[in-house]
Structure 1
Amino acid sequence: MKKIFTTILSFLCCLGAFAEKNVPHVEVTMPFHKGVNLSNWLEPWYGLSVSSNFFGRQDFEDMKSIGVEIVRVPIHFEAFSSKDPDFIIDEKLWKIIDETVAWCTELKLYMIIDMHNDCNGNTKTRPDVEKMLNKIWPQIAERYKNSSEYVLYEVHNEPHFKSGNLNADIDKWGKIQGRILKLIRTIDTKHTVIVGAENWNNIEALLKLPDYKDDNIIYNFHDYSPFFFTHQGAAWTDLKNIKNIPFPYDKDKMPPFPNNESPSVKQLYKNYELDSSEEVLCKPLNDAVNFANKRKVALMCNEFGVDMTHPDNQERINWYRLKNKWMDERNIIRISWDYKASFGIFNTGSLSQQFPQDVNVDLIEAMGYKMPKNIQPRTAGWLNNSFENGEYKIFRNTLAKNILPISYLNGGKSTAAFDAVSENNELCISIPEAKPYEALRLDFLGAEDFTSLVNSGLSLEFEVKTTQKDFKLDVYFMDKEDSSKGKDGLEWRCKISLGPKDKVNDGKWHKIKVPLNDFEDYGAWSNSMNRWFPGEGLFKWNKVCQLVIDFSDNGQNKEVCFKNIVIK
């Protein structure tokens, strides 16, 4: 019996060795292997200012402490530039990148300066993108050519021309990228450059990229497969009604297919067992590895992840464990999307999540990270960190920590500037123009309890200046309704209004002071039901999420400025 057991064991070991031997392995290695994306920071479709303090040195220390080796910083350079024809980058953006480079160098943490630009699902890459890249990349390369080896460049995130001829688009981008790479090399031959393919950094398109004859590049792709699992329930996809999908596929756990879904979604449901199999998911990885080895370059997947909103937490962890395992076996550098937000490593998708207490420990362990020992929970929240000089600061020369500015102005064509200079050298918030009902939202990154502020008789104070003749403004605090109230997700408002009677439209600064007790219950708007709910006394001061400056039914065609927004 012992002899039979030994024989079987030897046979199984041989099978294991044979299987392991047949997993291709990228031959070119780099001094980093795993990392995260820092989304929601320098991407202005979220309305962020370049003066935003959403990430600081402590965040980089936290990431380093769990084992992150490289961070990718998505930056919409074009939006933070003078636009056509010169695309001069705003000096304030350079200041933030300079600071980030310094932190990463000190911490020996690699970072990617990623030319991200707008890549929402309904967009397409501008046909003349090369004109813009020809102006911006020399500025980047010149500024960082003498920086440490911890800096990497990424030519362009997810190009997608959408001309209707995919092969032509793939070929077009491959040639453009080659010319931009040569342009960078005329200035900087030191730093590693990341290149990727058309069709949203598609892995199949990667195999059609030209050989750029550069021995200091990394070929890159993105991987959100199987999409039916990773984006289930995502509001920006056709899968918004698909929820509770297991991974790996389990017939007994599959939910019934929802009624009235499109044929394409029905086909994804039908194919999910095959599409989620290891054989199907790993074949593109193997093809990419073989391609990289032929080119003698390193290989990276610098976006992969699962939206946490609808999958079961354990099913999501299963996906990360397997994906990371498969990429590690193949020596593919992996950088997950993202750190915070709905694809992040924290327990919810809220941007208010705190390190270390809110980290999803089981998830990061599945990703090959480890929580440091004996680390103390941090003091969280705007209220606990904003009091100084007898006031609770929201904006005075700069935004307070734990305030995330969100705006959608002029139909999305502009954002608020949080660093305009007023007459006495104080910084102010400048709103260039706004369409009716557009707003500037100052998010507290979580629910804050204002009860003690209200009971103490404190007031909201701010200064405003405009020359808009028909100036109207609604200023309100907003909360979230409890699910137990039957109107889950409604944003209840408590507001004050400014108008012609207040006479603040003479181009001079006017100080506004309103006791919190004078704010009036107003109501809530439901996007899902497309209706307005009148005030029902449901606004609660103990769960304030945002301070909103709403430009009412008039909008603004003249600049309006704000400064010194505090509660005192």
Structure 2
Amino acid sequence: MRFAKFFPYALVLFFFLSLSTGSTADLAKGVNIGDWLGTDEAVWIQTTRYQKTDFENMKSLGLDHVRIDVNFNVFEVSEPDYALSEIQYRCLDKAIMWAEELGMKVIITNNEGEISTGTADAIRDRLVMTWKHVASRYAGKGDVVAYEVFATPGETITADAWNGVAAALVAAIREVDATHAVIVGPINDYSLDALSSMAKIDADNVIYAFNFFDPLTFTRQGNSYNDVDYNTAIVPFPYDAGKMPPLDEADAGTAAEEAYNNYPTQGTVDYVKSRLDVAAQFAADNGVAVWCASFGAYIGQRGLRLNDDGWDVPNADRGAWLGTCMSYMQEKNIAACHSGYRGGFGLFYDDNNNPYGWMQFGNFPYDINTDICEAMGLTPPEPGLYSPEPLTEGFVIYDEEVTPLARWGEWFWDDAEVSLFNMDEPAVSQYCLSIFYPGQWQAGDFFFPLYLDMSILAEDGYLLDFFIRCDWEEAHIQARFEDTNEDLDDKPWRMNYNVDNSVVPFDGTWQRVTIPLTSMDDQGAWDPDDEIWYGGPQGLFDWERVQRFQFVSETAEQPDAEIFIDRVRIVSADAVDSDPMASPAAFALAANYPNPFNPTTTIQFTLAKRATVDLSIYNVRGELVKTLVSETKSTGDYSVQWDGSNLNNEQVGSGVYLYRLKADDFEQTRRMLLIR
């Protein structure tokens, strides 16, 4: 199965680091961004996932670094020079610019995955070229950038083989950048115990990294580490015999059971300090600077549904472990890095785990976990309550890139392919969104972590406006809004509209779809709390609390569908009429929607040139019912609504009606069905 891969263990806190090699690097408190540039393909990256406001928020917490995980082995990185994708560079360039403006720093971390003894030479040769390209691009930057050559090499490479690779990568960077700090770490995923096998590299300004999660019985409870599951929960810290849970049956006979049995002696403050002394001794023995690249404790897993048996790690226990690590590493002059910004190891209440309900999304400052932040010496703001003002103007959902209002997610697997940056004849500019071969219920998801109040837009007749292209007549896609689902009494009610060959022709040319928000279908809700489908219409969708927008392959798998979508917006009817897009190639009258309808339907038409237009409704006897348009109009796409009334503004009865467009020499008639 193919998923867009993100790395949620995301935050890094750096404390002041004075290098013993003669150079210094003021790495103080920073933050690791692990859910941005770690995708397997660059075309899956949401370039807008982080904005300058996010960096400003991090700065306000007392953080002055960002550590950005980057997959150096994405699909697009290829011969001859193995340069990073321009999409990756677009994001890094912005991050470095924001950091520079705010007095922060960026660590570029190669987090591409595994390296083995057998693949070491090939990976080394590729990364030498990639790192030269990266370092050449940023060598001229001031003291704002550092390079981490390969995050957490695993257990499939020997120490000798890895030491050779690390030295070669540092040397390659030094050929083009003589000053910026370079970070290396030992095998076994930056194991603290493997530090002693890490050879000292003959270069200036090199930092040596390790990870720290001891004891795993506490920090990884309900989670896993190095292919071992730690199922026993809720484990206290420090160890307290009266609070210890029994061993989970799933842990019996595994390394997790051994760790559980050792917890009375390892679940103590003294043990944690003794383990960190290993890093301090390595630094002293070798005259180098050390950096804890990742330390953190899992928040717990209450589950997606509040009626599940869930649990969480109390803030007091989690804070005690984090505070112990942080304060002792400060005492030992070890740079310290926490392992999560958002998500299960983060500084916010996790998405599915907070005191008030399961819908929490790492929104600053509303979801900040003040206890955890304060335990680590940060300065969090008061969380406050989110209450949005109603939107009074339209907005972009996708145009060249995803709106910063949303977090993009992909629910695609098997043979499905998706791209946020398809360059195959986009409708508007350089890129369009593409969804190929989706299975049933697979979707591209624009999730609004801060829900939107679109009530005024709906009342004022705003429309969902986008372009679509497909050359398979059986293709279909559902445009869908969902509202919030904040507690057991709430449900994510849906408003949707199905687009297929009856709405616009799927003939391989770009077609425009404009759907009044109030004309979308009230479908119902799938409630993840109780796993029940609540069919519609029920009239319960709330335009004041819009949580997401999706394109969904709802009704069937589509093995032959290649669907292109471009410039997705919420716009006024006037904006549609006056849109400056390039002139269409031909006149056209589109199928009305919805059809059948009651009482209102939308009719779209396209003018290839300025023309005198007559758009009128007739009954089946050919008698004029109402004229909707009778004027000269310029080139472009237009959308008109008929409310089921006649020339006297009286409502007409159920039945088949015809609508005819005449524009100079062009004439076309279509049928529609009114059901009262």
Query: Structure 1 length as normaliser, TM-score?
Result: 0.81
Q: 1:275 aligns with which of 266, 269, 275?
A: 266
Q: Which has the larger radius of gyration?
A: 2
Residue 443 of structure 1 deviates from its aligned partner by: 1.0
- Please give the alpha-carbon distance, in whole angstroms, between the structure 2 residues aligned to 1:66 and 1:215: 31
Does the alignment pair 1:365 with 2:377?
no
- Please give the alpha-carbon distance, in whole angstroms, between the structure 2 residues aligned to 1:135 and 1:194: 17
1:89 to 1:80, Cα distance in 2 relative to 1, 3 A: farther
- Please give the alpha-carbon distance, in whole angstroms, between the structure 2 residues aligned to 1:415 and 1:301: 36
Deviations 1:323-368 (A, max 9, x none): 1012111111012122233322224447844434443333222212
2:130 is aligned to 136
Residue 77 of structure 1 deviates from its aligned partner by: 3.1
Q: Is the 8 A contact 2:463 2:515 kept in 1?
A: yes
Q: 2:92 aligns with which of 97, 113, 124?
A: 97
Q: Is the 8 A contact 2:291 2:334 kept in 1?
A: yes
Q: 2:434 aligns with which of 425, 431, 442?
A: 431
- Please give the alpha-carbon distance, in whole angstroms, between the structure 2 residues aligned to 1:126 and 1:514: 53
Does the alignment pair 1:254 with 2:244?
yes
Q: 1:44 aligns with which of 39, 45, 53?
A: 39
Does the alignment pair 1:210 with 2:199?
yes
1:507 is aligned to 508
1:333 is aligned to 335
Q: Is the 8 A contact 2:292 2:337 kept in 1?
A: yes
Q: 2:175 aligns with which of 168, 171, 186?
A: 186
1:147 to 1:444, Cα distance in 2 relative to 1, 3 A: same
1:113 is aligned to 108
Residue 159 of structure 1 deviates from its aligned partner by: 2.0
Deviations 1:397-438 (A, max 9, x none): 443222111125464996522474855643543326344143
Residue 152 of structure 1 deviates from its aligned partner by: 0.5
Tell me the secondary structure at the aligned position of residue 79 of structure 1. Answer: coil
The one-letter code of the counterpart of 1:403 is A
Q: Is the 8 A contact 2:416 2:438 kept in 1?
A: no
2:566 is aligned to 563
Q: 1:150 aligns with which of 144, 147, 152?
A: 144
Deviations 1:266-294 (A, max 9, x none): 33333322232234323332222222222
Aligned residues: 526
The one-letter code of the counterpart of 2:465 is E
More helix by share: 1
Q: 2:395 aligns with which of 385, 392, 399?
A: 392
Q: 2:161 aligns with which of 172, 176, 198?
A: 172
Once the two structures are overlaid, the 10-residue window that deviates more, 458-467 or 231-240, is 231-240
1:479 to 1:230, Cα distance in 2 relative to 1, 3 A: farther
- Please give the alpha-carbon distance, in whole angstroms, between the structure 2 residues aligned to 1:548 and 1:473: 10
More strand by share: 2
Does the alignment pair 1:285 with 2:294?
no
The one-letter code of the counterpart of 2:164 is K
Deviations 1:442-489 (A, max 9, x none): 11114445555555554433211122343122332345645535xx9x
- Please give the alpha-carbon distance, in whole angstroms, between the structure 1 residues aligned to 2:317 and 2:464: 45
1:75 to 1:560, Cα distance in 2 relative to 1, 3 A: same
1:227 to 1:452, Cα distance in 2 relative to 1, 3 A: farther
1:13 is aligned to none
Does the alignment pair 1:201 with 2:190?
yes
The one-letter code of the counterpart of 2:446 is L
The one-letter code of the counterpart of 2:253 is P
The one-letter code of the counterpart of 1:484 is L
Tell me the secondary structure at the aligned position of residue 399 of structure 1. Answer: coil
- Please give the alpha-carbon distance, in whole angstroms, between the structure 2 residues aligned to 1:478 and 1:194: 44
Tell me the secondary structure at the aligned position of residue 301 of structure 1. Answer: strand
The one-letter code of the counterpart of 2:449 is L
1:75 to 1:423, Cα distance in 2 relative to 1, 3 A: closer
Q: Is the 8 A contact 2:522 2:541 kept in 1?
A: no
Residue 49 of structure 1 deviates from its aligned partner by: 4.8
- Please give the alpha-carbon distance, in whole angstroms, between the structure 2 residues aligned to 1:125 and 1:402: 44
The one-letter code of the counterpart of 1:247 is F
- Please give the alpha-carbon distance, in whole angstroms, between the structure 1 residues aligned to 2:417 and 2:333: 42
Q: 2:57 aligns with which of 38, 46, 62?
A: 62
Tell me the secondary structure at the aligned position of residue 179 of structure 2. Answer: coil
Gaps of 5+ in 2: 1-17, 301-311, 352-358, 572-676
The one-letter code of the counterpart of 1:510 is Q
Tell me the secondary structure at the aligned position of residue 330 of structure 2. Answer: helix
Tell me the secondary structure at the aligned position of residue 416 of structure 1. Answer: strand
Tell me the secondary structure at the aligned position of residue 502 of structure 1. Answer: coil
1:551 is aligned to 553
Tell me the secondary structure at the aligned position of residue 104 of structure 1. Answer: helix
2:219 is aligned to 230
Residue 143 of structure 1 deviates from its aligned partner by: 0.6
1:8 is aligned to none
Residue 558 of structure 1 deviates from its aligned partner by: 5.6
Residue 84 of structure 1 deviates from its aligned partner by: 4.9
Q: 1:468 aligns with which of 460, 465, 472?
A: 472
Q: Is the 8 A contact 1:464 1:509 kept in 2?
A: yes
1:235 to 1:85, Cα distance in 2 relative to 1, 3 A: same
- Please give the alpha-carbon distance, in whole angstroms, between the structure 2 residues aligned to 1:458 and 1:284: 61
Tell me the secondary structure at the aligned position of residue 78 of structure 1. Answer: coil
Residue 298 of structure 1 deviates from its aligned partner by: 0.5
Q: Matched residues, percent identical?
A: 24
- Please give the alpha-carbon distance, in whole angstroms, between the structure 2 residues aligned to 1:460 and 1:430: 16
1:240 to 1:266, Cα distance in 2 relative to 1, 3 A: closer
Q: Is the 8 A contact 2:219 2:297 kept in 1?
A: yes
The one-letter code of the counterpart of 2:551 is I
Deviations 1:351-403 (A, max 9, x none): 8444344433332222122247xx9979877x76x754xx2332234432221
- Please give the alpha-carbon distance, in whole angstroms, between the structure 2 residues aligned to 1:70 and 1:133: 24
Q: Is the 8 A contact 1:410 1:434 kept in 2?
A: no
Tell me the secondary structure at the aligned position of residue 38 of structure 1. Answer: strand
Residue 130 of structure 1 deviates from its aligned partner by: 2.2
The one-letter code of the counterpart of 1:63 is M
Gaps of 5+ in 1: 1-24
The one-letter code of the counterpart of 2:141 is S
The one-letter code of the counterpart of 1:106 is E
Tell me the secondary structure at the aligned position of residue 197 of structure 2. Answer: coil
- Please give the alpha-carbon distance, in whole angstroms, between the structure 2 residues aligned to 1:65 and 1:225: 30
Of structures 1 and 2, the one with the larger relative CO (CA 8 A, separation 6+) is: 1
Once the two structures are overlaid, the 10-residue window that deviates more, 468-477 or 435-444, is 468-477
The one-letter code of the counterpart of 2:178 is T
